[in-house]
Structure 1
Amino acid sequence: MKYKFAFFVYLFLNISYGQALLQGTVVDKETKQPLAFANLSIKNTNIYVMSDVNGKFTFTNVSKNEVIVCSYVGYEIGEFQVNEENSKKVVFELTLSHNELPVVVVNATDYLANQIITKVIANKEKNNPEHLKSFQYSSYNKIICDYKSLSENKNDSIKFRKKIKESHFFMMESVTERKFMSPDLSNEVVIATRVSGFKDPTFASIATDFQPFSFYNDNIKFFNVNYLNPISKGSIKKYKFHIEDTLTNEKDTIYIISYKPRAHKNFDGLKGLLYINTKKYAVQNVIASPAEKGRIDIKIQQKYALNDEEYWFPEQLNFAIQLNDYPNPKRPLTLDGKTYITNVKLNLPLDKKQFSNQVVVLDEHAAARDSVFWDKHRVESLSSIDKKTYRVIDSIGAKMNFDSYLSIMEKLMQNRFPLKYVDIDLSKTLMVNKYENLRIGTGFYTNDRFAKKISIGGFLGYGIKDEQVKYGGEVIVKVSKKNEFNLGLQYQNNLIETGYLGIQSSLNDFFNFRKFIGYQYDQFNQIGVSIHFRSFNYFLWDLRLNQTKTNPKYNYEFNNGSQSYTGYKNSTLDLNLRFAYKEKFISSLNQNISIGTQYPVVFISYSRGFKNLFEGNLNYNKIELAIEQSVFTKNLGTTTYRAEAGYVDQSLPYGLLFTGEGSYDKSVVLIMKNTFQTMTPYEFLSDKYVNLFLSHNFGGLLFKKNKFQPILSWHNNLGWGALSDLTHHKFVAFKTKTKLFLETGLQVDNLIKINCLNIANIGFGAGTYYRYGYYANPEFKDNLVFKFTLNFSIK
């Protein structure tokens, strides 16, 4: 009996070991970085597994003495024999292959690769997860920021690691819940976040959008550059595909296909690997990075899983960002992110009412989750370095008060700088124009430390050239943050440029250089009340009731026959409306940050003047409309337009009419968006007008030669206007454009690039505009205008 017992014990041990669990990781031998989607197989069998996004793999039934073969595109094949000592945990260290493959123009393998990609493109609509009726999922996200030592001297790497106390430079985690409803309704809530060094990381919601959710859009966008997807329609003419390996099992075949832009093709392309599963010819795995090296490199790795044996859905999303020259080429800053998607539910009966225009929201309790919560939701445990990062960086953050620097960043995005109980209004600080030359002064607003529901502010400034003081103040009552509902009371004694009322104020952004060349101003004394709010997600309203006394600061008299005056009083009800259909926002940094809309944005400005109300002199209706949009077209570039129109039903003083659309100034030779580049600032005057500014940016589609990659843009601007009563305006020069005003321009950006902090390039370019048609000047040279441009890029 005891022999039978011993036999069964022996048999059990052999079976237990014979069906051993083998786990491990595939890494690059030199860098020790994990290799995603490596192929591991038991030699002389069809049994194989694939490493995940993190290079990890698992065999569930490996017998003693069997040989595991590991292959990865671009690396030497590795082998490993299983025995009792090494079966617990394996690290495959693969060496880069230095064998150069012969160049083949067309072969049977490439022809087959093209056929496979054609089938993938044909099945894109069915396999795109964002074409499902609806879905929801949970995700665990982890981002690590570090310095990567590229020094050949190993001692340098060790010394540097000790400098940062053997921890990561920065680390953050988050748990999110997302729901989606076709075609484009999406809400993601960050229910938990933890960021090293910060107690209240209000920026955490931004970290969910470093890469596209799926690899099925025609264009993959990285850092505002649209890269042509290798599986978009027509990509076979742009990309070269090659089958690197083929994996088969009982059910399906997986083709590993490399891709890169074809030679002499000018477009923003990607390179990498596609793992195509013949089950629906879907993308099972993908590795992608820009084909051209820039200041910032990004690499994404995505893994998809088959849900319900029918739908391929993302399971793991990794990205790696490297600032190649920051802080220096030998020690670049890197950002590695991982996303694990779980609890996937497809085709749920969701309701549109469950969605808002905030695509990402930070839960108010997200930063307060305890260790029990994190232990439950972490997909991968924290390493010893991770834990040390929290200890070290948290202590540094508390000592240096990182959260205070974060609050400064929040305010800077609102054009303010925080002090204790007040914020400095940067938009009212050191203003520049040709009338005042330089305005010395600033503005202040109380902040949330003073009161959360009310803000009191004011400004004071002195013009160096006109030697006049400007001042004003306002009280704002914050009724509802959700609806952006504010009530206000304002008073100011200030200057306003002629023609700047209405939709022209919508052009007042940071890079609007047009304000620098203004020289014709009205002085006004104004008191008013205002209501500001958002409704139905996409409408932003601004209503004002104003009583204004205006005095032109130039030689002018208004004479309509029955009355004549220079200064005037004006009582108005003003409405400014912005409508941006399906505009999306990220709730971050204690504010809503717009990520734009693909639809046209509409601006409407209406002003009703009341004669005899608060001693008003004028009775009129004035309306303006503007529509603008940017449309990206695959293989063609980006087309942008802005159409404007305005109408006044009564004869009004000069300052209330339409002018100021020109931006030609010999001393400020910069291209100014949505203005006429060959027209002087106040050349024309109108009480009704139509303008169109149309441009097309070809990007890098036309010229690419090594690092010289100029960006070409074509511009066409046209305008029409009329003025009913020309004789009413005395002592001021102007024209009317009752015929079409026409100009065409060619702009070339990035002719010269200058390194900016080793992170980006400052690109300098130039443009030339030609004025033609009815309003062309007699001399050819007077119709030609040369201007310069300035932009930033990572390429």
Structure 2
Amino acid sequence: MLFFFTLSLQAQFQINGIVKESASNQALAFATITTNNGINSITDVDGKFAVISKTPITFFTVSYIGYTKIKTDVQKNTGFYTISLTQKTDHLNEVVINPENAALSIITKTIALKDNNNPQKRLPHFAYKTYNKLIVSANPDSISGQIDSIIVRRTKKGIYYKIDSTNYKFKNTVNTRHLFQTEKISQFQFTDNTLKETILGTKMAGLKQPLYEILSFNLQSFSIYDTKYELFETKYISPIADNAPEEYHYKLLDTVTINGRNSYMVYFKNKKKSKSKGLEGVLYIDQNSYAVAKATLRIRGLLNITSNHEFEYFPEENIWFPVHKNFRIIKGKNDDDIRIFGGTIQFDGDVDDFKSRKKQPSDYIYLRSESHNFDIEKNKNTVLKNPYFAVEIEQNAFDKEESFWNSYRKDSIDIRSKKTYSELDSIALRKKIASRVRLGKKIINGYLPIGFFDMDLRKIFSYNNYEGFRLGLGGVTNERLSKNFRIEGYYAYGTKDGTFKGSIGAAVRMDKEANSWLGFAYTDDVREIASTTFSTEKKPFKIYDPRPINISTFYNYVSWKSYFETKKIPKTESIWELTHSEIEPKFDYAFLHKEKLYTAYTMTTAMVSIQWSPFSDFMQTPTDRIETEKRFPKFSFQYSQTLGRLWGNDFNFSKFDFKTEYEKKYLNGQKTSLLFQAGYALGDVPLTHLYNTSPNNITKENILKRITFGGKNSFETMFFNEFFSNKYAFFQFKHAFNRVTLFQKVKPSLVLVTRAAWGNLDHPEQHAGLDFKTLNDGFFESGIELNQIFNGLGLTTFFRYGPNQLPRFEDNIAIKLSYVLNLGF
């Protein structure tokens, strides 16, 4: 029998057991356990319980509304008790929505009064400190005795085993230490409806420089009163949200005393049949104020997750304030493997024809996080420093002495935790864990560190219809050379055009906290004509970008650029550039300006590009600002202006570009994405710098010959160089459904897509050499994406309709392949 996770090595007295219904022998979840010394506990979703006490436990009672209460004496040398409850004849059945139901009446009052009981609504100011400890471990007592053995052969005389060295090492490891451990001390301040966390100290076993991603990982909501309660970065409807009675069944279990005040125990469960679709748990509701005095929330699915919130009553303010919370993850039962913090966890199958397998070490791994709040100050008006940061890390947070930790820890650190730090620090040094973590983070962003140089993996190989195979080498110096200076560049060769290209530049850091850099660069390269790029946009790393394959119209640019990039303005990133370029179209084109045809021209431009994320949460680290919680909408602005006759500038024009993105993730796992983008160019603009609205179709007679790879936000039925505009608006709608299992390894993700664009071109007679149309009447396409059908490969189909629909039906259809590469990070 698995022991409950939160066994403390400091505890002197403990009882464990399981509560069942006598008639059906089924486990009873959330039965109340009360000991002789006043400790209250409840059984978990499997009917199990564990009670730990520093004073002797002589007896305990088990009660459950609708069942006869049982008193059990604690026997010497008995650690596990099986309790069977008998149902009363006047038992309380689980209720559905009913105005007369006691539980629903309690919940209705709780919802009505929640603003009065929510500290973030009731109190204008408060502050407190928190000690948090997170571990990934396994309980040695729960590990099967056969985990360290494997079957060699079967004979008539029996089964012969041998030791599996990997599993044997795992058993020995968890007997002495945890697999991962981190501690954190934070100061929380609330004022002006803003809650800010300042990390005073943090340490991670095996890492001198903690991973910021783990520090910002949201395991559970701060408040039980949030409309959408968050568990493990997934949001669920709170059991006390305004619309909660439409989502949950409620049942009154018992009444208990918490902090000397009587409270109702109300069980709630999502109405959906699937256990993985919603929360279930117990709310302890104060009988006088109808505030939440304690809460237990659970999810059973791919993961079994448990979240607990405990509160302390402050009579002066008549409010329950959070003082303790914990969070636990263990494996659920499913035939899909999942990943937590980079490690794979395997699952037994939950389908009828799935064959169970031998237990692996990962079957016993759990994650546990525990937070204790202290030094609570209420109604103390404090001025927040940098309130636009949700989290800020103090400069010396990574260098705290052991005395600092001993002064804040709830309990003295046990031998197993001490060994975790000492052994993981030693292993990290021996196996160069810090270097491997650094390597992984670099590769995620598209770089391979080689000494003091980060090689850009994007520059090694690509293909397009003009250059052919583009082979190159490039990158940037890293922090090993200097944290305040960098040199970057690349060199490439096109096998089809037979030309070398390259860039070289350098920059110096001006502001460490805002990550501000001042730099310059020289570039001689080619670029797709009429393409729109936002300088602040960070494109995800792709080993292979399929869209440029069929592009054949490029222009060469030789440019000298100075730039300044910064995150100084809160919740923004901005780039300011001054560029002088020599432009030469690499296709048959001439631009008519003032009765002169230009086949090459000079431009001197100033540009500012800003990305603004007003609703996102950010973390200020000692060296950078990180977006920890991405929220929408997000906005991008870009303005370019040629500078008159400076440096022999041939044309005078202005360009205004705007983009906004919005995503909504639903509680059922589906997602809707919206994208709006627009541009407006004024003045004398050559075709190379107009807008093409991102086409991605090739001019072939046969549908099958037009099959290529699809893009992310491109028109799949629009042919290259078909439309050009100096002003346009683009809209895209996507709705992604949950992946559907057709076969064991065939699990496509269905996405519905609709795109539309409108535009116009002033003075089309100025552009000679290409035949094209304008977007006055608009362009429309819709389609279906079946992504990740098998091993990341998918299939998409789009149809073109509206005023620009083509005469032949088959020419309006585009079939594309899609590919999603999972690097495992």
Structure 1 distance, partners of 2:81, 2:66, is 10
- Secondary structure of the 2:398 match is helix
SS at match of 2:770: coil
Q: Does 1:694 align with 2:733?
A: yes
Shift of the alpha carbon at 1:632?
5.1
Aligned partner of 2:373 among 341, 346, 366: 341
Q: Partners of 2:653 and 2:539 in 1: how far apart?
A: 26
2:131 matched to 1:140?
yes
Q: CA–CA distance in 1 between the matches of 2:146 and 2:100?
A: 42
The question of 1:124 aligning with 2:155 is answered no
Which position in structure 2 is the counterpart of 1:213? 222
Asked if 1:174 is matched to 2:184, the reply is yes
Out of 67, 82, 103, the residue aligned to residue 113 of structure 1 is 103
C-alpha offsets along residues 175-203 of structure 1, whole Å, 9 cap, x if unaligned? 111212243x3332222222222223243
Distance 2:718 2:570 in 1: 38
The structural deviation recorded for 1:52 is 12
Task: Give CA-to-partner distance per residue, 1:146-195, whole Å, 9 cap, x none.
Answer: 25687643664876421566321121112111212243x33322222222
| Aligned positions, number | 745
2:574 to 541, 548, 563: 541
1:695–1:249 Cα change, 3 Å: closer
Match of 2:61 among 69, 72, 97: 69
Distance of aligned partners of 1:455 and 1:151 in 2 relative to their CA distance in 1, 3 Å threshold? same
User: Which residue of 1 is the match for residue 696 of structure 2?
Assistant: 663
Change beyond 3 A, Cα 1:662–1:122: farther
Decide whether the 8 Å contact of 2:693 with 2:730 is kept in 1: no
Q: Structure 1 residues 105, 287: CA separation in 2 closer, same or farther (over 3 Å shift)?
A: closer
CA apart distance, 1:339: 1.1
Q: State whether residues 138 and 366 of structure 2, in contact with CA within 8 Å, keep that contact through their aligned partners in structure 1.
A: yes
SS at match of 1:673: coil
Query: 1:606 pairs with 639, 644, 658, which one?
Result: 639
The alignment partner of 1:393 has SS state of helix
Aligned residue number for residue 352 of structure 2: none
Which of 569, 577, 602 does residue 569 from structure 1 map onto? 602
Correspondence for 1:770 among 776, 799, 824: 799
Name the stretch that deviates more: 632-641 or 208-217.
Answer: 632-641
Aligned partner (choices 323, 327, 334) of residue 319 of structure 1:
327
1:285 Cα deviation (Å)?
2.5
Q: Aligned pair 1:734/2:772, yes or no?
A: yes
Cα separation, 1, equivalents of 2:677 and 2:259? 63
Aligned match of 2:677: 644
The more displaced of 690-699 and 369-378 is 690-699
Give the distance between the partners of 2:673 and 2:376, measured in 1 at CA: 39
Compute the TM-score of the two structures, normalised by the length of structure 1. 0.82
Q: Which amino acid aligns with 1:694?
A: F
**In structure 2, what is the Cα distance between the partners aligned to 1:534 and 1:674?**
27
Aligned equivalent of 1:759? none
1:233 corresponds in structure 2 to: 242
Please give the residue correspondences for 1:493-642 in structure 2 after superposition, counting only pairs within 5 Å.
493-503=524-534, 506=537, 508-510=539-541, 514-515=547-548, 517-560=550-593, 562-587=595-620, 591-596=624-629, 598-631=631-664, 638-642=671-675
Alpha-carbon distance between aligned partners in 2 of 1:406 and 1:272, rounded to the nearest angstrom? 38
- The one of 382, 407, 410 equivalent to 1:350 is 382
Seen in structure 2, the aligned counterparts of structure 1 residues 792 and 220 have a Cα distance that, compared at 3 Å, is farther
| Local SS of the residue matching 1:677 | strand
Measured after TM superposition, the shift of residue 659 of structure 1 is 0.9
Alignment of 1:744-783 (within 5 A): 744-747=782-785, 752=789, 767-783=796-812
Aligned to 2:503: 472
Post-superposition offset of 1:786: 4.4
The alpha-carbon distance between structure 1 residues 777 and 636, as it changes in their structure 2 partners (threshold 3 A), is farther
Matched to 1:172, the amino acid is T
Q: Within 1, Cα distance between the matches of 2:454 and 2:511?
A: 21
Question: 1:713-740 CA distances to partner (integer Å, 9 max, x unpaired)?
Answer: 5443221111112222222232111112
Residues 620 and 255 (structure 1 numbering): CA distance in 2 closer, same or farther, change over 3 Å?
A: same
Tell me, yes or no, if the aligned pair for 1:628 and 1:641 is still in contact at 8 Å.
Answer: yes
**What residue is the counterpart of 2:160 in the other structure?**
none
Most deviating of 152-161 and 562-571: 152-161
Q: 1:310 aligns with which of 313, 318, 334?
A: 318
Cα deviation, residue 246, structure 1: 3.0
The answer as to whether partners of 2:95 and 2:101 remain within 8 angstroms in 1 is no
The answer on whether the counterparts of 1:524 and 1:549 sit within 8 Å (CA) in structure 2 is yes
Q: Does 1:300 align with 2:307?
A: yes
In 2, Cα distance between equivalents of 1:387 and 1:38: 36
* Gap change, CA 1:672 and 1:310, over 3 Å in 2: farther
Greater shift, 668-677 or 442-451, is seen at: 668-677
State the Cα deviation string for residues 85-122 of structure 1 (Å, max 9, x = none): x7xxx996454879999986759899322222222222
Query: How far does the alpha carbon of each residue in 1:21-74 deviate from its partner, in whole angstroms, 9 at most, with x for none?
Result: x974454579xxxx999744367x9x66448999666598x9xx9633256899
| 8 Å CA contact retained: 2:471, 2:494 | yes
* Residue aligning to 2:354: none
SS of the equivalent of 2:537 reads: helix
**Would you say the 8 A contact 1:742–1:773 is kept in 2?**
yes
Structure 2: distance between partners of 1:465 and 1:733 = 25
Q: 1:744 to 1:472 in 2, by over 3 A?
A: same
Structure with the greater relative contact order (CA < 8 A, sep ≥ 6): 1 or 2? Answer: 1
2:145 pairs with one of 153, 162, 166: 153
- CA, structure 1 residues 282+670, in 2 after alignment: closer, same or farther (shift >3 Å)? farther
Q: Name the residue aligned to 1:388.
A: 419
Contact 2:515/2:623 (<8 A) preserved: no
Aligned residue for 1:395, secondary structure, equals helix
Q: Cα 1:171–1:598, aligned 2, differ >3 Å: closer, same or farther?
A: closer
For 1:121 and 1:791, how far apart are their aligned partners in 2? 44
Q: Which runs of 5+ in 2 are unaligned?
A: 1-10, 20-27, 149-166, 338-343, 348-358, 699-704
TM-score, scaled to structure 2: 0.79
Shift of 1:546: 0.8
Q: Is the 8 A contact 2:732 2:756 kept in 1?
A: yes
Moved more, 558-567 or 152-161: 152-161
Q: Deviations over 1:369-396 (max 9, x none)?
A: 2222111111022222112222222221
Offset from partner CA, 1:639-692 (integer Å, 9 cap, x none): 432222222222322111111422346666555333333323432100111222
Pick one of 682, 687, 694 that aligns with 1:654. Answer: 687
On the 8 A contact 1:459/1:471 being kept in 2, the answer is: yes
Q: Report if aligned partners of 2:555, 2:584 keep a CA contact under 8 Å in 1.
A: yes
The alpha-carbon deviation at position 542 of structure 1 amounts to 1.4
- Which of 713, 717, 742 in structure 2 is aligned with 1:674? 713
Residue number in structure 2 paired with 1:242: 251
More deviation in 676-685 or 143-152?
A: 143-152
Within 1, Cα distance between the matches of 2:187 and 2:258? Answer: 35
| Stretch deviating more after TM superposition (588-597 or 233-242) | 588-597
Q: Read off the aligned partner of 1:166 and give its amino acid letter.
A: T
- Larger deviation: 247-256 or 648-657? 247-256
1:270 is matched with 279
Contact 1:40 1:69 in 2 (8 A): yes
For 1:541 and 1:207, how far apart are their aligned partners in 2? 24
Deviation digits for residues 478-533 of structure 1 (CA, Å, limit 9, x no counterpart): 10022332111110111211123443873733367545554422111111111222
Greater shift, 720-729 or 162-171, is seen at 162-171
Distance in 2, matches of 1:468 and 1:615, equals 27
Comparing 690-699 and 153-162, the one that deviates more:
153-162
Report the AA paired with residue 396 of structure 2: H
Is 1:287 the equivalent of 2:296?
A: yes
1:261 aligns with 270
Q: SS of the counterpart of 1:168?
A: coil
Q: SS of the residue aligned with 1:146? A: strand
CA distance in 1, matches of 2:794, 2:232: 21
- 1:41 partner amino acid: T
Change (3 A) 1:738 1:28: farther
For 1:758, the equivalent position in structure 2 comes to none
Give, in whole Å, the separation in 2 of the partners of 1:212 and 1:363. Answer: 23
